[in-house]
């Protein structure tokens, strides 16, 4: 264990802090001696038609799956046990399911990314997510991890804008105060299988933020010595 970083199955994990606020000010979130260095939001994916990652592949797959399926209709013999009229019903229901799933995926991704705010201070990387609790009342869920020299902050080449991984958690349960957390349909299928990544998604200055955080971690470690 090194500071707020632990080793788990060969992967370095963070020890997080999660808090919930009703009507917070910035002064409530930051410590008294903490300095705000940067704040921002995902610059892509926060609109309904801005599909990203796996979600985009699903939309394409639904479209071509439905198209190929309907192209096979002339190959179905009308006299067969499952005739052409039966196939039309099956194809129509399947197409309707595809049409219903696609907007749902887009809405979930839009809802998550449009309600995120990222903050970097001289001490912590912070993710703020606005969402509803079990009483359907809006709250601000704030998740933070202290900067650490031991953690390998990495820039993820997400398209069309890169992302910065600022923490890896042992389990998604650590994000439980965030409700459904930070997950959305645009993330890869294996996302979170080995540790739960906490990412500043779609930030154009990801490399600059990475160097800023690493510099703060080095300075903080030097001051503590």
Please give the model's pTM, rounded to 2 decimal places. 0.84
The phi-psi region of residue 176 (left if phi > 0; otherwise alpha if psi is between -120 and 50; otherwise beta) is alpha
The tens digit of pLDDT for each residue in 34-67 reads 999 999 999 999 999 999 999 999 999 999 999 9
Q: Give first-to-last CA distance, the chain, whole Å.
A: 17
Give the number of domains in the chain.
Answer: 1
Q: In the prediction, which pLDDT does 189 show?
A: 79
- Is pLDDT above 80 for 129? yes
Q: 1: pLDDT confidence band, cut at 50, 70 and 90?
A: very low
Q: 225: pLDDT confidence band, cut at 50, 70 and 90?
A: low
Q: In the prediction, which pLDDT does 76 show?
A: 85
Q: 7: pLDDT confidence band, cut at 50, 70 and 90?
A: low
Q: In the prediction, which pLDDT does 3 show?
A: 43
Two tokens, residue 94: 């399947």
Higher pLDDT, 91 or 2: 91
Question: What average pLDDT does this structure show over 73-94?
Answer: 86
Higher pLDDT, 15 or 21: 21
Q: In the prediction, which pLDDT does 179 show?
A: 47
Q: 139: pLDDT confidence band, cut at 50, 70 and 90?
A: confident
Question: What average pLDDT does this structure show over 27-32?
Answer: 87
d(CA 23, CA 39): 18
Two tokens, residue 86: 């039966």
The CA–CA distances, whole Å, from 114 to 41, 48, 118 equal 8, 10, 12
**Token pair 């990475």: residue:** 210
Q: Which domain holds residue 63?
A: 1-225
Axis-axis angle for helices 53-71, 84-114 (nearest 10):
170
Two tokens, residue 115: 């309600």
d(CA 175, CA 141): 10
d(CA 65, CA 171): 35
d(CA 157, CA 165): 11
Q: In the prediction, which pLDDT does 83 show?
A: 77
Q: In the prediction, which pLDDT does 194 show?
A: 67
Share of the chain above pLDDT 90, in %: 50
The tens digit of pLDDT for each residue in 179-202 reads 456 788 898 877 766 677 889 999
Two tokens, residue 114: 């449009």
């Amino acid at each position: 264990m090194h500071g707020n970083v632990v080793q788990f199955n060969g992967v370095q994990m963070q020890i997080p802090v999660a808090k919930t606020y009703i009507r917070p000010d910035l002064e409530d979130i930051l410590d008294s001696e903490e300095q705000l260095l940067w704040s921002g939001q995902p610059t892509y994916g926060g609109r309904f038609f801005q599909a990203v990652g796996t979600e985009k592949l699903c939309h394409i797959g639904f479209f071509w799956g439905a198209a190929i399926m309907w192209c096979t209709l002339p190959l179905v013999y009308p006299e067969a046990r499952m005739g052409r009229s039966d196939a039309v019903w099956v194809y129509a229901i399947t197409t309707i399911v595809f049409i219903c799933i696609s907007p749902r995926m887009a809405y979930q991704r839009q809802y998550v990314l449009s309600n995120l705010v990222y903050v970097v201070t001289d001490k912590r990387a912070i993710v703020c997510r606005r969402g509803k609790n079990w009483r359907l009342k809006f709250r601000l869920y704030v998740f933070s991890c202290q900067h650490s020299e031991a953690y390998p902050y990495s820039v993820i080449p997400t398209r069309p804008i890169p992302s910065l991984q600022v923490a890896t958690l042992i389990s998604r349960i650590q994000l439980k105060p965030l409700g459904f957390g930070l997950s959305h349909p645009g993330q890869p299928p294996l996302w979170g299988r080995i540790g739960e990544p906490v990412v500043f998604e779609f930030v154009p200055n990801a490399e600059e933020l990475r160097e800023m955080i690493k510099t703060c971690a080095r300075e903080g470690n030097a001051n503590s010595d």
